[in-house]
Each structure stands twice: as C-alpha cells, then as structure tokens.
Amino acid sequence: MDFLKINGGHGEGGGQIIRSAIALSCITKKSIHLENIRKNRKISGLRPQHLTAITILQKIANAKVIGAEIGSTELKFIPGNIENLDLEADVGTAGSIPLILQVLIPVVALSHKKLDLKIKGGTDILWSPTIDYTQHVLREAYSRMGIKFSFELSKRGYYPKGGGEINLQIYPSDLKSISFSKRKTNDVKLICSFSKLSNEEIENKIKEIVKKLNAENLIVNVEIKLEEALDSGASMLIYSIDDNSIIGIDALYNKKTCKFDLDIDKFIQSYSIDDNLADMIVVPASLANGKTIFQVKEITKHLETNLFVTSKITGCKYGIGKTSNGFDVIIEGISNPSIK
C-alpha cells in the first residue's frame, strides 16, 4: 500500500501536524504515515488527547491504524468510509477536549455525516484553546465557512483532574471559502468562568483588564460565571466579532502569579482574525472552492507548519504577502470532489 509520508518533526513539530494530517487523511481518503511525531516537544510521541482523537476517528472512518499508543513516534492511518455515529469517549484526566474537536468537526461535517458525542476530559487547560474559545470564536468562523456544529457544556475540567464534559453534535455541512478584512467594531465581550477561587480576586483582575481595553476605546461587556469543577481554576475569553473580522484571545488564571496569562496588546493589534484562528481554518480552507483570505499580525510557526503540511496532503496553493500592518494570507482550495 502507498502511504503519503509526513514528517511530524517539521517546523514547530507539535500536535497540530497530527491533527491536520489525520483529519485530511479521513476527508481525502489518503493513507498517511506519520514519522517523528512531536519530535520537538519535551515529551515526544502521542499523548492521551492525540490517542483519543485517533481512536474516535478510527471508529468514524472505519480506519486501520498502526502505532496508536501513548508515546508512539510513528503512526500509519488508513481511512475507510465515514459513517454517522453516536459515541462516548473519555480522554482521561485533563487531556484537551477542544484540541480533539479541532480534528473531529471538519472530518464529520465535510464528509456530510452526523456525529453525537459525549466526551470527558479537560475543557480549559494549558497549551490548548479554552472551551469558550471553541464555542464563541471557532464556531463563528466555521459557521461562516458552512461548517455546522453545536455543543452543551455539562462541566468544566481544569488540570490536573479534568472531569470536564460536553455533549457535541456535528451536522452535514457544505463548505465555502471566505474573506476577512480589518476589524471595525469597538464592541468586545469578556467571559470568565472560575471554580474554587475568590470571587473578589477574580473580579479585581477583570477590572484591571477592562480598564486597559477601555483605554483603547473598546466597549467591554463582561460575563462572570462561577462553575464548579473538580479542581480550582479560572478561564477567560476576550473576543470581538463583526462582518469583517473574528478576533479572540483566551487564557487561564495562573495561581502562582495570581494573573491571567493574557496578551492584551495582541488582541488590540489583531487585524482580521487572531493567530490561533488563522491556524484552525487552514484545513477547511484548503478544501473549499475558491480563495480564503485573511490578515494576521505575524506568521506564527504553527501557521507556517500547518500551511506546509496541509498543502502537501491536499495539493492546495497558498501565498503570504507582507503589508504595512502585518501579512496577507491567501489559501486557494482544491474543491475536493469527495466532500461535495
């Protein structure tokens, strides 16, 4: 059998290569051979959230998988036919649910299938989008690209115990390309959820952040929620949405420094979409009919790596142009006949 070889150590060499490769393998029906998985990480190889995503996709796509073990640095994924399913999954401890959703949603939706999934794990953990980012930022972007999904958050899950739970529904979708341009709105939404922390402490930190945003002529609507979890923790999302742009930043509360690890300047300076969202829309953009266009302040290593890997699997074309404010990114999709 012929395999398309993917070097998992390319570029930033992290989990994004795994997620993009197996998602595109399922959609395009191409068998892949991943090598050097997470080579550039402190702990190399597959982690629990990667294994959970692979296991779920194996069921959905009736795939044959070789090397699906914790710590494995090599994986062969041979996709079959995708089916409608009703599943339950448990990542274990605080493995990231949002990162798993990044894989599942495009695969199921763009294959014109349906998935009902109850999944347990971490909803708000380090090195991962928060569940609120997935709900309010990613869902808005995917919706504009024709991708339909929804979920109910039953319980938050912080590190180390996790225990978070969501009920996810993915619907058959028709993909389309999209263009973003400069943000025009001054309206900003701030959502903060916390568990087993001082309400006064959290509110004071939020007031400091709102003050910084107000100083930039941004009007902030604040929502604070006490949502009990197994562990103490807090999660914050700041986002703005208009017809031209979708920009969000999220962060967890650092209990050592007593601050949210948040780069407010990055949110203020963002142009049409944020850095994380730019990375997340590469896979669907590569398969759409037409050009997806957006502007970012910088080309992150994640984005650069994802563009390279996605173009290698799909054959899509992309271009990056320097502007006075940052970079224009254009992805010309292949209008994959398997997803029509």
Query: What is the Cα 160 distance to its own chain's centre?
Result: 21
Non-local (6+) Cβ contacts of 23 within 8 A are: 57, 102, 103, 106, 107, 283
Three-class secondary structure of residue 268 per DSSP: helix
The tens digit of pLDDT for each residue in 279-313 reads 999 999 999 999 999 999 899 988 998 999 999 99
Enter the pTM of the model. Answer: 0.94
Non-local (6+) Cβ contacts of 236 within 8 A are: 130, 190, 191, 192, 206, 209, 250, 251, 252, 253, 260, 262
DSSP element (H, E) containing 225: strand 219-226
Sheet of 317-322: strand order equals 291-296, 327-332, 317-322
What is the pLDDT, as a whole number, of residue 340? 42
Q: Give residue limits of the domains in the chain.
A: 275-340
- What stretches in the chain show pLDDT beneath 50? 339-340
Q: Which amino acid is at 185?
A: T
Answer for the pair 336, 27: CB distance below 8 angstroms, yes or no. yes
Structure token pair of residue 98: 């949002």
Catalytic residue ranges:
302
Answer for the pair 155, 193: CB distance below 8 angstroms, yes or no. no
What is the pLDDT, as a whole number, of residue 8? 83
Structure token pair of residue 297: 């302040």
Q: For the chain, how big is the Rg over CA atoms in Å?
A: 19
275-340 folds as Ribosomal Protein S8; Chain: A, domain 1 (3.30.1370)
Cα separation, 138 vs 70, in Å, equals: 28
Cα separation, 80 vs 62, in Å, equals: 5
Answer for the pair 47, 68: CB distance below 8 angstroms, yes or no. no
Maximum CA pair distance of the chain?
Answer: 61
Q: How many residues belong to the chain?
A: 340
What is the pLDDT, as a whole number, of residue 135? 98
What is the pLDDT, as a whole number, of residue 44? 84
CA angle 186–191–224, rounded 5-degree value: 125
